[in-house]
Amino acid sequence: MRKRTFILLLCAWFWGTTSGWLCAAPTNTDTLSIEEQQQFLYYFYEAQRLIQSEQIELARPVVEFCYELYPYDATVNNYMGLYARMDSNMVASANFFRRAYELDPNEYWYNHIVLMLKSDNKKKHQQAIKQLETLAKNNTKDEELHNILQRAYIMLEQYQKALNVQDQLDSINGYNEMSAMQRYRLNAAMKNNQQAIYEIERFLEMEPDNHQFQVFRMQLYEQTQQPPAKMIEAYEAVLKIDPRNIVIINNLAWNMVISNKNLLRAEQLSRMTILRDPSNPIYLDTYGWIMYKLGDCASALFYLERAIQCSANKVDKEILSHYKEVTKKCK
């Protein structure tokens, strides 16, 4: 099977950009003279450059010239079919597409499978998936093809099947950052939170200083309300990347106080937040609760009352709960 290039352009179109214009390498042009081959390749790639920059009409005469030079290229026939369809010449369009298929069945199906997936017809979706699955079964080492099949499954929200394709992609490329990212996202889409966490933690064991995955882990821990010890680990890692992030500082201090560990450092961190944002009721509540845990009732009441005053018309239930408990115990 001829190797297709410019997969990023195809994937970009797959998600809704340039409509139907698949960029690929030219077929074998050995029947041409060396001079003719050079001329054909120059105009072929010029046409693709114009198509890639979405200058479809400017590319038309270049494609037509390529067709005159060498009418046996599948991609050029595909392009000619698309232009004929734009002109509402459906007979010519069908003939060009048929010729493209005869020259290279995969070239033809790549283009038309994507077209079917973008339609609103569910029957066409299933036809497209079936064709992709057949191609993937017959081309087990074709990375581009499996990427498209996976995106098709994602488009149709068939996330488990997309995950199965990732297994095949990993057998081609090995496990890497992209693989970990995709596994995390697919499991998160299926609400398999524990597996999503596992995928993040698995990759961080390989690359513990990967900042992007440290942030993912923190966000996922927050969403799934992990135990304070895990939250502290995640916040500490992200704080090294972004030491002035006041939200992370507050959240780290809060998890320290609810785990009743390292209260003195929690106080230092929380004090930083109220110095920088002295009217934020959440930060004031965190600091007030830390002071209560440290046994300073006067400071606790002061900051919790301040948190209520800064809450405008709506006081957070947790702030009220803290204030009531401190009032009861300290007065």
Measured distance CA(86)–CA(1) in Å, rounded: 29
Measured distance CA(193)–CA(201) in Å, rounded: 12
Q: Does 291 reside within a domain?
A: yes
- Which CATH number is 251's domain given? 1.25.40.10
Token digits for 73?
């290229």
Q: Does 263 reside within a domain?
A: yes
Q: Of the segments 75-79, 118-122, 227-231, which one has the largest average pLDDT value?
A: 227-231
Measured distance CA(123)–CA(156) in Å, rounded: 12
Domain range for 255: 245-331
pLDDT of 247 higher than 80: yes
Q: Does 268 reside within a domain?
A: yes
Q: Does 299 reside within a domain?
A: yes
Q: Of the segments 132-141, 219-228, 267-276, which one has the largest average pLDDT value?
A: 267-276
Q: Does 277 reside within a domain?
A: yes
> How many C-beta atoms surround the C-beta of residue 33 within 10 A?
9
Which of the residue ranges 47-51, 65-69, 86-90, 288-292 would you say has the lowest mean pLDDT?
Answer: 47-51
Q: How many residues does the chain have?
A: 331
Number of domains into which the chain is organized:
1
Name the more confident of 21 and 275. 275
pLDDT computed for residue 278 by the predictor: 93
Which of the residue ranges 34-48, 170-184, 207-221 would you say has the lowest mean pLDDT?
Answer: 34-48
Residues 323/324/329/331 CA torsion (nearest 10 deg)? 80
Q: Does 60 reside within a domain?
A: no
- 236 — pLDDT class (breaks 50, 70, 90): very high
Q: Does 124 reside within a domain?
A: no
Q: Does 326 reside within a domain?
A: yes
**Mean pLDDT to the nearest integer, 177-191:** 90
> Distance between alpha carbon 316 and the CA centroid of its chain, in Å?
34
Residue type, position 228, single letter: P
